[in-house]
Structures are given as C-alpha cells and as structure tokens.
Structure 1
Amino acid sequence: MTTTFLGRAAAEVFQSAKDLSDLQKLHIVLPSRRAALYFGRELASLSAIPFFAPKISSIDDFIQETSGLQLIKSVDLYFEIYKEWKQLDGSLTLEHFLTWVPTLVKDLNLIDSSLLDDTKGLFTYLDQADALKRWGINAENNVVTDFAGSYFSFFKKMGLVYHTLRERLAAKGVGYSGLLYRTAAEKAIDKEWKEDFYFIGLNALSTAEEVIIKHLVHIGKAKCIWDTDDYYMESKDKAGRKLRKYKSSRLFGKEWYFQESLLQGTEKHIQVYKLGSQVLQNKLAMDLVRKSSSSSHAVVILDEMDLPSIYTLVPGLDMKINISGGMSLKSSELMAAINLLLDISDQEKLRLEDLRMLMEQPLIRELVKGEVEWTKLERLAYKSTRLFYEREDLKMSQGSLWDEIVGMTEVGSFVRGVERILKTVEALEWNEKPFAQLVLKELPSVKRHLDVSKPAFRLLFQEFLKGLSLPFEKEPNAKVQIMSMLETRCLDFDEVTFLSFVEGKLPTANKSNSFLPFDAILEFKLPTYSDQDAIMAYHFYRLLQRAEKVNILYVQQGGSGVGRQEKSRFIYQIEEELCRDPKVDGKIKFSTTEINLGDLVKPKEITIPKTDEILEKAKDYFTNRGLSATALSEYFTSPLAFYWKYLEGIRENNMDEATIGANVFGTLIHYALEKADLPYVGKSITKEDLEAQKLWVIKNFDQLIQECKPEFDFSYGLNAVLKKVALDLLIKYYHMRIRTYTEPFTIVALEKKFRKILDIGGIKLKVEGAIDKLEKHGDTLVIIDYKTGKVEDVTYTHNPEVSFTEELKERKRDKFRQLLLYFFLIHSEEVPDAKYGFYSFRALNDRIDMEVKGLSKEELLSGIQGLIEEMVLEVLDKEKPFSAIEGRKVYENSTFSNLLN
C-alpha cells in the first residue's frame, strides 16, 4: 500500500525537529481524537529510542482549551434558552419550545462558528420592516397578517435571546459549541503562544478555525499539512472547493504540503454492487470482510439505521474488528422498555394491549416476574378481554417494582420508576447492565428539570436518550474498522466498503434544517448545504486516494416513483469522470454487479423422521379423533404443518384478544344463524318466516353476541365496527334468501354430524364432518355450509388426461374437497340425492353449489376415498418423513411459517 497520509505527516514533523527534545515543544492538531491516536502511533514508530511526545489534540479539544469554556450539556442549554425566551413571550409553553429548540441551537452554532460580526444586522435584516421592504410587499397602513407578524416576531426574539444568552453562559464559564469557537478565535489573537503548532489533515475550516490558524501561521507559530490530490485540486470539482481557495490565498503557508496524484495515478479496483434488499446488503458486506485479503479494511456506514443489523453479524466473522463510536442506546432492550413506559405513562387507564405489552416486554418481565403473582397477572391479561384497566386494579404487591411501574403517571413517579429499574438492572450481570450504568450516570441532568408538564418532559427525555451511546471496547490494531464517513478523516485503508451508497446518504439530503432563510444565509455569507456537500465529497475522494480496492453497495428495490432511492451521483462521477479520464490509462478497473436474494439464499429442506412414537400418535389420531375435511386439506397443503397441528397438538396462540379476529367474527355469524333457525327445525319455512327471522336477529343481536362471546367488549373501537359489519351481513343474507325464495322448504337439521369407518393400513379410520345446515327443498336435500371467507373453485370438469385424485390435492381445491367429503359421508348413509354448496358472506348474491362434469357418482366416491387412503398410508409409512421446503408460497400465511425459519 502507498504510504499513509498520517505516516507521511508524522515523518514530516519528525524530520523538522533538530533533535528529539524539540518534539515535546510541539502541539499537533488533527480533525478527530481517532486521527490523533493514529498519528501518535505513526510518530512513535519513527524512532528506535524513546522520546517525549508532542501534545496531540483533536480540533474540538484544542478549541475548548483555547476558549477557556466548558461545553454545556444539551438539556441544560435548552433550559437556559427557555428562561431567556420566556421573558419575551410569556405564552410560550415548554413542550412547544422543545420541538424547535434543537434547530435554534444549530443556527446559533452556525452564526458563532462563522464569526458573524454583524449579528444585530442579521436579525434586523430578518425583522418585519426590513423583510417586507426586501420582499416588495406593500404594507399600507402597516397592516400585517397575524401569521406574518408572528413569523417576524420570532426573529426579533431570537436576536434578543442570542445576545443575552451569550453573556449569561460566559458568566457561568460554559458555552455551546459555536460560542466556544467564537471565544477561542477572539482569544487567539491576543494570546501569547508558547507552543509551535502543526495543523494536520484539516479541510473545510469554519471561519473561527480559519482566523486562528491564519494568525498562528502569520506569527510563525504554525504550519499546515494537507491531504490533497491533483484530481480535485486542478479542476472545478466540488471536493476541492475550499482547499483550492486556501492554497491560492497562501495565508496558510507559502508552501503547500501535500498534493499528490493518487486518485488517477495508482491502480484501483472499484466494484459497484446493486442489491435487491437490505438484508442482502448486510450479508454481502460481511462476506466481503470475511474473504478480504487486504491488510486494512474500512466498512463505512453511511446510514446509521444499518448499524444494529451489522452489529448482530459481526460476532459471526470470528475476527478482530474495531467498531467506532458506540452502540446507540436506542438499539438496546432497555431503551425499548423505557419507550414503552414513556408511551403508557400518559394514560389515565391502561389498555389491555398495554398491559400485555408490559408483561411481554422481555426486560420488564424478567425484573418483575419473581416478585408478583404472575399467574394472576396472566389471567388479567389473557383470560379476560376488558379493554381498559384502572391502574390500582393492576397493583399486586405493595412496594414491588411492578406496582411502581403501573403507577408511573406523573413526571416524578416516572423518573423514580425508571431510576429503580436502572439500579435493579445495574445490580445484575445482564447484557443491559452497561446501558443502565450509562443512563444512571447522565440522569442527573434530567432530574434537575422535573418541574415541567408531562408532554414537555416526554420531549425532554427523548432528546436526552437520543444522544446516549455505549462505546465499544477498542481494537485499534484490528485490520477491519467499522465507522462513519467522518470517522475516516486522515485515515487510509487498502480496502474500503461503503454501505447504503444512495442519494440522500452521500451526498446528504439537501435540507438546511435551519430557521434562517436562504436569502439571509447568502446575504451574510454563512455556510450553505452546498458547502456541506463539498465537505462530504472531499472525505469520499480522499478515502479513495490510497485504497487499492473499493466496494460500493447500494439497495435499489423494484418499482419507480416518489420515495424510491436512487444510487448516489458519485457512482456516475467515478465511472464517467474519474475512470474515463485519459490520465487514468487503465489504472482503475470499474465494474458493476447486480445481486438478488435468490443468488445467495438457497431454500433449506426441513424434515422430521417418523419414529415409532410418532406413528403411534398417528394411529391414535386416525382411530380415536378422526379425520376431518380441514385436516385432509392441511396435509396436502403441508405435511409438516399437519404433523405439528394434529399429531403434536401445536396450535395457534389461543390467547384471547381484545379485538375480535376472523375466527371470532365467523363464530358470531354462525351462532346468530343457528339461534334464529332452532325454533324452525322440522318445520316448513315460508317467506314470512324468513322475514321474521331477520327481524328477530336485528332485535336480539346484542344479546346474541354477548351469549356467544361474553368476554369481548363490543362498545369500543374496531369491535364496535365489526359488530355493525356482522349485523349488516346477516341482514343482507336474509334479504338474499327472501329474494331467491320460490317455495316452502324444511329445515332438517343444524350442525348435523356424519361419520364413516374405513379399514385402511390395518387401522379403523374414522372419517367425520359436521354440516352447518340441512334443508329439504321438495325431494332434494340441500347441504349448506356458511363461509365468512372467500369461496371459489367448487366446480370441476374432468379431464381424462389428469388424474382426479391428483387434482384433488391442489391447494385451491380445499373448498371442493370439503364438499366432496360431505358427499362421501352422506352417500354412505344412503341419503337421497343432494345438492352441496356454500353461502359465502364475501359474496352474498346466491348459493355457491358444487358442480361436477364428466364423472359418475361412483367415480367421485372412488376418487375421494382414494385420496383419503393415499393420505393415511403416506402418514403411516415410516420411510416417508414429514417434510417441507422453506420459502414455498403455500406457507406464507401458515400458522407455522415461523417454524420454517
């Protein structure tokens, strides 16, 4: 690899010293503490004998030291600003203020780090009279709308607060970042400097930094070492915008160190990967790391949302990796618990779903399960469907952590409860312990400000948590470094892998995120978002300078239109401008590859061998419990699901929900119809009877649903809506029956069960089915089944070239199989000819009847019996395991889809 920038800079500093003792008189300033650490290592490697090192600082540490001020904590700064603003606007609430104060602080930092002298001029420029004149608005009689007046008044207050805030903070010896930079610049001019300085690897300087460095260079106390390349220094490329200005001004030194021709003068392989999913991107990135033979490799994270998933993949690499920054608190289980508690603290009563979320939250569950009667809580949460609970009703044991948690309603009780949780976690050897210690350490800054409203505290607490992260144990010698773009400053790597290389991430989205209008920013020569783009462009190209291999990954899923992420424009610039420049002469190899999930992920086969124990369970099921139409369909949809559900008894979670599901909805429909029909069983039904049934259901529907599902509350929310939908469907059903009525008919039976015993494979197989309703129309028996779901494919035309039994195995034939099984059971009872069909509440136009063409009754009976025999013999065949292939479409909505992962 080409000599690193810090290696070359260290050699320059080392060689400039007349003897080793001179080095300790120097002060080296670099962009970051990370760069300072690596520079120190490079400098130490240049001498065979020990020597006293120079002082090495990051630019932020240097500025703070020079200013003599301490950086104020964000929460404390917000309250300092609020005190000042409140004096000007007594109606301002803290909760409203906290929604916009972070943007205000950013503007204050911009104004001060840019050393804007005419701050009064800026706020005058923004005030009402000057703005109206500038915008050419005719404000005759000084009439201004309330909205406009409020807008301009904001800037007037902002100017007043700005000036009084600076004095207030300075008197306390603290300041926000911009104020530290302004103060440092003001003190630097008059300070008697004893040290000699090297400013190394800086690029886009703030005005405050420019003033300080220019002054030190002018008085002969500083030298600058830059990391630049011919590609952007000898062109109009945005990446070199400020650096070209610095160089031509000669105010940072008459000589310019260093400028090389590395981007186009050294061999590189740039590989661009277009990927179909985020999961695929993370997997590919780790595969590239694992297979890399480079001596140093940087994985650059452009989107912080990628970090949690990357963290989970790192342990699987089984190699030393250094992760910069730290793990954000928001990725921890502790944060999830605190957010949940914050969400429910606003509610006077607890909803059922909140109680369940509390009990199912892993950290809270582990903390309180041993101190309360958990089974009693489970009964409250899962055996009842009350929508709301009084908090007092949920308290279990006086003084317990659980009681404190359900009692979190006010700001004070919330903080006390959170602090108790943190201290409890801190006392345990859990993975969350370091996070708890981190929050406890910083919590006093929040506890100083508890005299606020609940909405304001919520905003304040969320802002407080947002900035907390747990630093990783450092592995500075690891060959793989995972970091953000800014953390790569001054560092060089043989191989670089970029993740999420899309517009909006690099370059960042063009959002000013400022209260200052763009015309004011231009008028007063403050930095714009274009300057930020130039900074990121420099960091990108500088990172490419000494890299031999570059991997660029981005996700672009199918489709088009608003919201679709496009690959970064830098990819086009590399390919069209950098790689195709005649100066390159084939030194840079550029290629693109598109990879979809199917290219890397292969389906895995899941099989369960049939042991003697499993075969005994199968025989018991067939002979004692019996084969139903649903079980038959389940087997030909998924033999594995049949095994789990019917032989092992693994069912869907039967926990009651506060909101009814499709199964409960269907049950309500069936129950109402059955109750309405019961008095008429065995009787001849007239059109008037159907009208009477409809009116009876309407009158008694509330009582019917309470009889059917007394545990549900149908007074609120979605339950109330579904209740209305169910009644409307029942009314439509009766209207349809009345409309299609032709002659009296008889209700023969309701929920009639049929059964047949078959000798198959040495066992007595019980086949059974329950039919919702049997009606007699003249001499024809009509078999009725109600469906609240969709019904299709109950007609069949025989194709001699296709086996009837094989056709019956198709998933789409499940409803047809059900009716055919009824036909098989009823025919065995020597029932006269019958019609078989459904009433579907998805399409209440008419009955949906089974129709078969091309097969006799005997062939139908033979076909369904053959299907049953084939299924039973397969299940009892020890040599055929239960199996499934992961990813098959038929499992997408399966109860057991989670077991296939």
Structure 2
Amino acid sequence: MITFLESVLEDYDGWRKTPEQCIFVLPSKRAGSFLKNLLVQKTEDTSFAPRILSIESFVEEISGLQYASTIRLMFDLYAAYSAEEGFKKDSFYEFSRWGQMLLQDFNEIDRYLVNATEFFDYLGSLQEIRHWTPEGTSTPMIDKQVKFWKSLFPIYTRFRDRLEQEGLGYQGQIYRKATAKVGAYLQKHDSFHYVFAGFNALNKSEEYIIREILNQQKADIFWDADSHYLENPVHDAGYFLRTHFASWDYLKTSAPKGVGSFFNAAKTIQITGLPKNIAQAKYTGALIENLLEKDQDTLDKTALILGDETLLNPILHSLPESLTGVNITMGYPLKDSSLAHLFSVLFQIFGDKGQKGIPTKKILVLFSNPFLQEWFLNLGFVHSAVTGRMVRENKPYLSDKDFEYYGLPMELRRLLSLQPYPDPGTIISRFIALLENLQTLYLSSQDLVSVEFLRHFHLLFNQLSELHQTYPFITDTPSLFMLYEQLLEEDTLDFEGKPLEGLQIMGMLESRCLDFETVILTSVNEGVLPAGKSNNSFIPFEVKREFDLPTYKEKDAVYTYHFYRLLQRAKKIYICYNTEPDVLNGGEPSRFIHQLRNDSVLSESIRNNLAAPESGIAPSASESVQKSPSLLAHLAQKASKGFSPTSLSRYIQDPLEFYRKNVLGIRDTLELEETIAANTFGNVIHETLEILYRPCLGHILKPFHLVQMKKLAIEVLPEAFEKHYLKGSKLRGKNLLALRVMEKYLDLFLELEAERIVSQEVCILGVEKELIRELTDIPGFSGPVNIKGTVDRIETVDGELRIVDYKTGRVDPSNLRIADWGTLSEDPGKSKAFQVLCYAWLLQEHMPIPASEFRAGVFSFKRIGSGFQWFGLKTAHNRQDEMITPEMLNQFQGVLKSLVAELFNPEIPFTPPEKT
C-alpha cells in the first residue's frame, strides 16, 4: 500500500533538489512525524531536511504573534470584561462558567475574517429586537443583558489590544493577523516553496493564506481524497473539497493532486455492535490478540482509532500481554489519575467555608486514596483504626479539635486545619508541601511512575501559585478549584515508546494524513461520531448563517471526511459501536454506519455482527458449610451462653447467614450514617420508651403519668438521638425530619395509652426485662442450651398478663398468625410470631404474677392505628385464639427442641435458603 504521504513525496521531487528551500505544511504535528520518517527512508545522501510545520505553527510564524495559554486568555478576557462600564460584573468564578464560550466565539469571528464592527452591531441590535415590547417596558435583568451584548465589541477590542501589546494572541487573532501579513511574509521568504498536504475543511483565514501563496506560484497542494465521494454531489465527505475545486482560481486551471479511486480496491469491513464501553474495550483487545496470532508484523500497519477518547483507560487494560509495541499519541489524561482524585477531595474539603467542619465522609475517602498510603506508613498512622472509630461514633462533620481527639498526625492536621480558614494561597502552599513529601517518599522507594505523576502535579500547583500572585481575581476556593480543573484538563502524562512502530492508538483528528492497512474504530455512535448538534456558542444559528460562520452541519461534514478518508486506503476495517441506548448521547449506530451499509460500492464488503461478553450460569459452587467436630464444639459454647430469639429467627431465614454472624461473629461493615439508619431509629425509640416507663414500674398507669411522660419525652428523645446518632453534631436536613417523625410516633403512642387507661387498668411490671431459660432434653445433644432475650415491656391489663415487643418497622397481622406449629421453623415470614413466642416461653419461668393464660404481641409504630397486635393460633373453626396457654408453650418448646437439634445435627450443613 502506498500511503498518502508517500505519494506526495513521489509526486513532488523538489524536496530532493533543494530541501533547504522546501517547507511542508500539514494539518497536524503527528503527520509531520510520519513525513519526517519517510524522508529519512527515502534520502540516500546526507542533506538538509525540509522544514515541516503544522498549519497552526505556520500561521503563527506568519503573524509574528505567539499563542497564549488558555488560562492567560481567560484572565485577560476577564480584565477586559471588568473594565467595561454600564452594568454589574460577575465575579471571576461566575465569569469562568461562560467566559470560555465567549472566547470560542471570538475565535470563530476572527478565523472566518468576519467584520467585527458589523457583526457585534448586528448582534446587539438583534438582542434589542428580541426584548422589544409594544409598551416599551423593560426589567433590570433585560437592561443588563442588552447592555452586555452592546458592550461585546469594546470588550473584544480591549482584549485583543492587551494581548497584542505583549506579542500574544488567541488562535483566531493570530489567524486574522496572519492574513494581513502574508504578503509581507512571502516577500521576505521569496526563495521558499511550500507544499500543503492533506487539507480538507479550511477556515477563511487558512483559505486566504493558502490561495495567496498558490496564486503567487510559490506552492503545491495535495488533497487526500477519493473520487467515490468527491463525484457524489450529496456526499458530505467531499463537501468542502467540491467547494474549493469550484471556487479557487488556481484549481480551475490545475488538476487536483492526490485524488484517487481507492474505494474500488478490495476491502473487508466488519461492523460489530457491543453493549457498553467495557465490552468494546474487551472485544478490541481480543481482536488485536487474534491479529497478532495470525501475523506478528500486521500491527505495524494497524491503527486503533478511539471515537470516544475516554475509552483509552479500559482499552489499555484490555490489550494482550503478548503485544510488545504500542504507541499512544494522546497521552494519559492526568484528570483520571488517583492523584487527581486526591486533590479533588481536598478541594471539596475546603469548599464549604468550614461553617460545619469537614464532612467525615470526605475524610474517609481521603484516607483510602492509594497515593497517601506510603505517607501514612511513614508517619506511623494506622488510618483503619481511626476510620473505625469515626464510623462507630458517627460524627457527620469534623473540626480541628476532632482531628486531635482522633490522634491524627500533626502533618495531616496541618494539611486539613480550618483555623484560620485557609485562603487560596494557603491551600496552594499546603498542597505543594504535601507533594514534596510524597515525592521524597516515592523517590526513595524507586516508584518512578508515581514520581512522574507527582512531578506533573507539582508543576501544575506551581503554575497555580504564580497565577494567584499575578492576578487578583482568585479570591476563593471555588475559583481556585476551577483554575485547577482547567489546567488539569489540558495536561497529560505522555507515554514513552517508539512513535512510528507497533500498534498506533489515537483519536480521530490525529489520524489526518495517515494511512493504515488495518483500521479499528470504536464508539461509532451518534453523538460521538459525529458529535451532533452541540451549540457551545453565544451566537444564534441564524446569525452564524448570516455571517457565513460554521454550524453543526459543517462540523458533521468535517467528521464525515475524516471517517471516509481513514477507510479509503485500508484493506481491513473493524468498526465497533455501542448497542445500548444512552439518554444523553442517543445510543444508536452512527449515520456513518448506515451510509456504509447502503453504499453502492462498499455494502458488498460489509459483515454485520452483534457480540456480547460470554455469559452463562456458572457451575454452582457449594456454599454449604459442613459441621466439623471443632465447629460443633464452638457452637456448643455459644449455646451455653445463650441463643437469642433474633439469632434463632436468623437461622430459620438463612442458616448460612446464621453461621457467618452468630457462629463466626462476622458483623456487617460499619458505614457512616449520613441519615439515621433503620436500626438506629429503633434503638432511639426503645431507649426513650424505657426511660419514660421505668419510673412507673409496679404502678398502675394514671393520667398524670402520661402527662409527665409527654413533658419528659421532649428532653429524653433528643438525648437518646444524640447518644445513638448525632454524637455532638448539629441536627439538620433529613435527620431533623427523622427526629420529628419520632416525636410524632411517641406523641401518638402516648395518646393511645392515655385513651386506654381511661377504660382499662394498666399496670407496668417490666421494662427491657432480660430473661434466660435453659432448654433441656434436646434429641442428639446433651450439652446445656440457653435461650435468652430482652422483653421490651411486661404489663397487666385488667389483671390479664401481656408482653409487648416494640417494632419501628411494619408488622402485619398475618405475620403473627399461624395454623400449624411447623410453619414457625419453616416459614421466614413467621419470624415475628416465632420471636414473640420465644419471649412468652422465656417468661413462663419468670412469671411476675401467676397466670395460666396471657397474651404476647407487638406494637408496630408504622401501623399505630392497628394498636397492639397479638399472636394468634388458628383453631379448627378458623377462629383466632390469642391467649397463650401452657399447652401452646409446650408445643412451641417442641419446635425449639427440633430447631436446636437440627442446629447440632452434623449431617445437616449450614446452607443458604433456596431461591424462589
């Protein structure tokens, strides 16, 4: 295959005869690297090399100005905006949200040589018309907006003047300046010959410069195009080239160079739909491995083009280990590194003005960052222990005193200190100090990759420090964070390698002028390729049309050309797209895929596939745990201490979960509760009721008791909430609502109690009563087994003994009804009935008063209207017998014995419940 750049060198031999007078101008620097390599291969004798410039460098050279950095442009634009009078100015932070868009519009206006005076006058008049009313009325907001539009021209002029005085400019300004100076430049460089290669869409400035040089017979131009789309008047890939060929005087008399019929050659095109980005990455890795197995040398002529460049990281992790040569042109984005995440968290920590302290959740995220682990180790700081305490004590916000309380090292406390609250300068100095400490540690451990990341961030924060000292606009943390993110967005960590060997991984625009025999394209979806109707501009569509500025239609044509140009010389083409719909990006295959499928020439070469990750039912690994002699011995120790009704109920629901939590003692991972959890909610209610009712033990409830309880509840409930959840923190948000819900629950409960004691005699016999009873004569097990539990409330109502279990969750009457005793140990839905019968059986040996029959039930705070709900046994006549008798307890004791016997049966393993 003869590549486009090779064909340029073959057609133009001036680079051999007078290389020192030859200048190649290409769309990108990347293409220049490949051209330089070709020149080396084709040069037999030692000679001067022709100059190779990208179009941006060439225009910069003509203009005599230098490109200013994006950050510098934003500061100078804000200064020009602030100097304008007549309306209230936004802060620099607010300006930064829209200033980049304004800068982009200035760029477009200048690159397309729009008459700025006419343009801004037209734009201002349009805004006046849009806000005009027959009555002539207006508002301060409308007045401010119209004044802003009217002031754009002075801002634009002042901004350009500030830059030009220092020999700087933004891209559009440099391009406009170059068009004015191209004549003088050509006179000064009269002996040079220019070769323009691989251009397609040109802005007015580029077009003017190239045409001027061509008209003076000082240049050749080579187009990288195919007659397949050039000769089709409606094909977008040839839209710009057809316009050039029809309007340029030079091209009317000279046949276009570089145009061929490459699509007539044999090709294979495989289009594959895959679900989501990770599937595309894995598929691409497998595809490259397959190509590598067939031919080791094929990857030197292969390009992997990322339609969505965020796919780089998963692609890198999916490449086969046997791949030895890879060149990545785009670099690794620093914003995706764990070090970037570290500083993002630190900025968030300082972003809340310190009024409430630092969110504990952010501190826990900070502690887990991998870049800090070496530092913590060096400081002797075991953060896992501190993390456990913070979670257990559940303080949502932390102050400087809390950091001292938890024993954080002084170096870490200095980094996080809020006293006095750090200004941007202090934050930068703290971050630089942290980076220097980390660099020292990672240098000593020879972790050179981490050192390189740290070096980049050190340079970034030094740059931030200079900007902060130079410009007075950075006055708060959000502004500083915005600048940090802008600098970070532009910075990448370059990959090292041989740039012209092995697999080439690049973005679509980097592929300009380059040709490969095998092309792999990812993310060929609408909204990605092409990007779609993105309107990142203040300029309305109709104004762009009026002044001949590009719209999304022209941008779509640009990507259409890049897509087809990439395919025209390739022999094997693999196109991947995401099959899953995306709310933001559409998700359907790109229109480019539909065009290929309907192309009269290419459709015959296409194979369509749908692929998905291999899936299936994995062989079920046995999750059961056999009961070894040592396990049974350990279980016997647990039994002698006592099983609770809750633990036995857990065994009924999930024996394997009982094994993990009650035998091995594995507890759920503690998590910081930003809002109160359900179990903590229940603990607060239980403790409050215990405190309220304990003074009434042994007494018959009277109205004055309830009055006292209501008054006391106002103090007791917040104290219990503080003890179990807040732990010194302020009450706000959802937690405040939770407290109000508890207050309402208690108020309604006490009102029900007040109504009840009017017609019934209620005597409190026990509150949070701890009970224990031995279970004997267990089949197959001779050791002691104790059942223990805490009864929330024991009372008599008109002499009838009752036990009550408080539930803050929902309990339905059906949960407490049984028809068959066997269901208690078989049906997890009867766990509430099982628990209250356990309490009833425990109470049988500890009767506070003689009673042959009594009730046991629950009070559900989520069903307050249902009142007390009692256990009931369905009789033969389908009646509910709510009175618990000794015979019923004997029946339940049999259930308990069978359950515990099963628990100690070595032939029955701990297994998870069957899935239904």
Instruction: Give the aligned partner of residue 179 of structure 2.
Output: 185
- Correspondence 1:156 to 2:174: no
Instruction: Give the aligned partner of residue 466 of structure 2.
Output: 448
**Aligned counterparts, 1:119-268, within 5 A:** 119-128=116-125, 132=128, 137=132, 145-192=139-186, 193=189, 194-233=191-230, 234-251=232-249, 253=251, 254-263=254-263, 266-268=266-268
1:272–1:625 CA distance, 2 compared to 1 (3 A):
farther
Say which is worse superposed, 278-287 or 545-554, in terms of deviation.
278-287
Instruction: Give the aligned partner of residue 358 of structure 2.
Output: 351
- Correspondence 1:751 to 2:768: yes
- Correspondence 1:71 to 2:67: yes
TM-score by length of 2: 0.83
CA contact (8 A) 2:358 2:399 kept: no
**Aligned counterparts, 1:68-107, within 5 A:** 68-89=64-85, 91-92=88-89, 93-107=91-105
Q: Quick one: distance in 2 between partners of 1:459 and 1:622? A: 58
Instruction: Give the aligned partner of residue 429 of structure 2.
Output: 416
**Deviations 1:555-583 (Å, cap 9, x if unpaired)?**
5259xxxx365334625x534x4324444
Instruction: Give the aligned partner of residue 893 of structure 1.
Output: none
- Correspondence 1:551 to 2:551: no
CA contact (8 A) 2:807 2:859 kept: yes
**3-state secondary structure, aligned to 2:577:** strand
In the TM superposition, residue 236 of structure 1 has moved relative to its aligned partner by 0.6
Instruction: Give the aligned partner of residue 895 of structure 1.
Output: none
CA contact (8 A) 2:395 2:726 kept: no
**3-state secondary structure, aligned to 2:105:** helix
Matched length: 863
CA contact (8 A) 2:816 2:830 kept: no
Instruction: Give the aligned partner of residue 33 of structure 1.
Output: 29
TM-score by length of 1: 0.84
Q: Quick one: distance in 2 between partners of 1:817 and 1:282? A: 52
**Aligned counterparts, 1:132-531, within 5 A:** 132=128, 137=132, 145-192=139-186, 193=189, 194-233=191-230, 234-251=232-249, 253=251, 254-263=254-263, 266-275=266-275, 277-292=276-291, 295-296=298-299, 297-314=302-319, 320-346=325-351, 347-349=353-355, 350-353=357-360, 354-364=362-372, 366-367=374-375, 370-371=378-379, 381=390, 390-391=399-400, 394=403, 400=411, 402-407=413-418, 409-429=422-442, 430=447, 431-450=449-468, 451=472, 452-454=474-476, 455-476=478-499, 479-531=502-554
**Deviations 1:626-659 (Å, cap 9, x if unpaired)?**
3333333444555554444334433234577575
Instruction: Give the aligned partner of residue 688 of structure 2.
Output: 672
Q: Quick one: distance in 2 between partners of 1:427 and 1:257? A: 58
**Deviations 1:841-886 (Å, cap 9, x if unpaired)?**
2222223444444799466554454333323335x86xx5x6779x
- Correspondence 1:774 to 2:794: yes
1:641–1:320 CA distance, 2 compared to 1 (3 A):
farther
**3-state secondary structure, aligned to 1:790:** coil
CA contact (8 A) 1:299 1:498 kept: yes
**3-state secondary structure, aligned to 2:789:** strand
Q: Quick one: distance in 1 between partners of 2:278 and 2:911? A: 27
In the TM superposition, residue 220 of structure 1 has moved relative to its aligned partner by 2.7
In the TM superposition, residue 72 of structure 1 has moved relative to its aligned partner by 0.9
The code of the aligned residue for 1:441 comes to L
Q: Quick one: distance in 1 between partners of 2:629 and 2:548? A: 82
The code of the aligned residue for 1:837 comes to G
Q: Quick one: distance in 1 between partners of 2:789 and 2:79? A: 76
Query: Which blocks of at least 5 consecutive residues in structure 2 are unaligned?
Result: 877-886
Instruction: Give the aligned partner of residue 835 of structure 2.
Output: 818
Instruction: Give the aligned partner of residue 115 of structure 1.
Output: 113
1:17–1:70 CA distance, 2 compared to 1 (3 A):
same
In the TM superposition, residue 704 of structure 1 has moved relative to its aligned partner by 5.0
1:136–1:703 CA distance, 2 compared to 1 (3 A):
closer
**3-state secondary structure, aligned to 1:844:** helix
Say which is worse superposed, 195-204 or 41-50, in terms of deviation.
41-50
Instruction: Give the aligned partner of residue 62 of structure 1.
Output: 58
1:732–1:274 CA distance, 2 compared to 1 (3 A):
farther
**Deviations 1:722-764 (Å, cap 9, x if unpaired)?**
2222111111223344556763244333333233335445644
Q: Quick one: distance in 2 between partners of 1:863 and 1:94? A: 74
Q: Quick one: distance in 2 between partners of 1:60 and 1:215? A: 17
In the TM superposition, residue 25 of structure 1 has moved relative to its aligned partner by 4.4
**3-state secondary structure, aligned to 1:504:** coil
**Aligned counterparts, 1:783-822, within 5 A:** 783-792=803-812, 794-795=815-816, 804=822, 808-809=825-826, 811-822=828-839
Q: Quick one: distance in 2 between partners of 1:57 and 1:600? A: 55
**3-state secondary structure, aligned to 1:165:** helix
1:869 to 894, 901, 906: 901
Name the Cα RMSD after superposition.
Answer: 4.0
**3-state secondary structure, aligned to 1:258:** strand
CA contact (8 A) 1:64 1:184 kept: yes
1:686–1:588 CA distance, 2 compared to 1 (3 A):
same
**Deviations 1:280-314 (Å, cap 9, x if unpaired)?**
45444444444445834544434444444445545
Identity %: 24
In the TM superposition, residue 525 of structure 1 has moved relative to its aligned partner by 1.0
CA contact (8 A) 1:264 1:578 kept: no
1:873–1:320 CA distance, 2 compared to 1 (3 A):
farther
CA contact (8 A) 1:622 1:766 kept: no
- Correspondence 1:844 to 2:864: yes
The code of the aligned residue for 2:218 comes to K
**Aligned counterparts, 1:567-716, within 5 A:** 567-568=587-588, 570-571=590-591, 574-575=593-594, 577-584=595-602, 586-593=604-611, 595=612, 599=615, 602=618, 605=621, 607=623, 615=631, 618-619=634-635, 621-635=637-651, 638-654=654-670, 660-685=676-701, 693-698=709-714, 700-703=716-719, 705=721, 711-713=727-729, 715-716=731-732
1:832–1:67 CA distance, 2 compared to 1 (3 A):
farther
**3-state secondary structure, aligned to 1:599:** coil
In the TM superposition, residue 668 of structure 1 has moved relative to its aligned partner by 1.0
Q: Quick one: distance in 2 between partners of 1:726 and 1:317? A: 63
In the TM superposition, residue 514 of structure 1 has moved relative to its aligned partner by 1.4
CA contact (8 A) 1:372 1:397 kept: no
**Deviations 1:486-538 (Å, cap 9, x if unpaired)?**
22323344554544444322322413211223232222111112211221222
1:318–1:688 CA distance, 2 compared to 1 (3 A):
farther
Q: Quick one: distance in 2 between partners of 1:825 and 1:283? A: 60
1:379–1:796 CA distance, 2 compared to 1 (3 A):
closer
Q: Quick one: distance in 2 between partners of 1:711 and 1:453? A: 35
In the TM superposition, residue 457 of structure 1 has moved relative to its aligned partner by 3.2
1:280–1:43 CA distance, 2 compared to 1 (3 A):
same
The code of the aligned residue for 2:901 comes to E
In the TM superposition, residue 410 of structure 1 has moved relative to its aligned partner by 0.8
**Deviations 1:90-115 (Å, cap 9, x if unpaired)?**
85333333222211211121112212
Query: Which blocks of at least 5 consecutive residues in structure 1 are unaligned?
Result: 891-901
CA contact (8 A) 2:651 2:658 kept: yes
The code of the aligned residue for 1:205 comes to L
1:703–1:316 CA distance, 2 compared to 1 (3 A):
same
Q: Quick one: distance in 2 between partners of 1:614 and 1:202? A: 79
Q: Quick one: distance in 2 between partners of 1:285 and 1:871? A: 52
Q: Quick one: distance in 2 between partners of 1:533 and 1:397? A: 56
The code of the aligned residue for 1:870 comes to E
CA contact (8 A) 2:625 2:656 kept: no
Q: Quick one: distance in 1 between partners of 2:622 and 2:66? A: 61
**3-state secondary structure, aligned to 2:257:** coil
**Deviations 1:539-569 (Å, cap 9, x if unpaired)?**
22333432523232215259xxxx3653346
